[in-house]
Amino acid sequence: MTTIECPHCRSTLTLDKVGVHFQKFCSGLQVAGAERESSMKKFNRLYIHMQSHARGEITESELQAEADRIFPGR
């Protein structure tokens, strides 16, 4: 199964668990506030790239590069 590193905490996640990780389990996200809201918006952008990967349009390494670009400096 395809995996990606969480841009916040660098945990290795399968793509089907990324959303739940962001919403509930990521230790790199604050529980509330503007930073969390911003991160969730960025996750939505990442999700678009995850769909492209699922369709075979981009590789796993390209998906990781997009995650690193969307979440710089993490």
pLDDT digits (tens, 9 = 90+) for 21-74: 877 777 776 666 777 778 778 888 988 998 999 899 999 999 989 988 988 765
In the chain, where do the E strands start and end?
3-5, 12-14
Could you give phi then psi for residue 59, rounded to 5 degrees? Answer: -85, 170
For the chain, domain boundaries: 3-70
pLDDT for res 2: 79
Kindly report the pTM of this predicted structure: 0.67
